[in-house]
Amino acid sequence: MFKRLKEALVSSYVGTITVGWVFAQAILHFAYVFSAPITSWITRNEYRGIMGQSTDRGFVFRDGLPDLVRSIALLVLGYLLLRWLYFTPTSEPESRDMRDSSHAS
């Protein structure tokens, strides 16, 4: 079953598009690692007057950890897909004798 799925994904370029999309999402989430603390800091500063809090926690890099985990997971998934789809042969190659006999007739 997986052999037919693999052949269909490789021959129709859907596998290539999927692997590219997964790696693009990994890069995007890696960028979110750095933008999430800034976003939460801006949000906290805007709502500080409404909430009545006067403590400033500054940047909290803990806000970027979920995106870091997503980025690493997507990189691993993309690597596994790339290895499964393109670094293993899709079918057994024919032996040389069979190819030569088919051309001789």
State how many domains the chain has: 1
**With 0-12 CB in 10 A as exposed, 13-18 as middle and 19+ as buried, what is 9?**
buried
In a domain? residue 63: yes
Q: What global pTM score does this model have?
A: 0.70
**Count of Cβ atoms closer than 10 Å to residue 30 Cβ:** 17
pLDDT tens-digit map of 13-49: 888 999 999 999 999 999 999 999 888 888 888 777 7
In a domain, 65, yes or no: yes
Which domain covers residue 68, as residue numbers?
A: 30-88
pLDDT, tens digit (0-9, with 9 covering 90-100), for 46-96: 777 777 766 666 777 888 999 999 999 999 999 999 998 888 765 655 555
In a domain, 76, yes or no: yes
Whether 14 maps to a domain, the answer reads no
38-77: string of b/e by CB count within 10 Å (b at 16+)?
Answer: eebbeebeeeeeeeeeeeeeeeeeebbeebbebbeebbee
Residue 100 counted as domain residue: no
**Residue 78 domain-assigned?**
yes
Query: Does 43 map to a domain?
Result: yes
Q: Does residue 38 sit within a domain?
A: yes
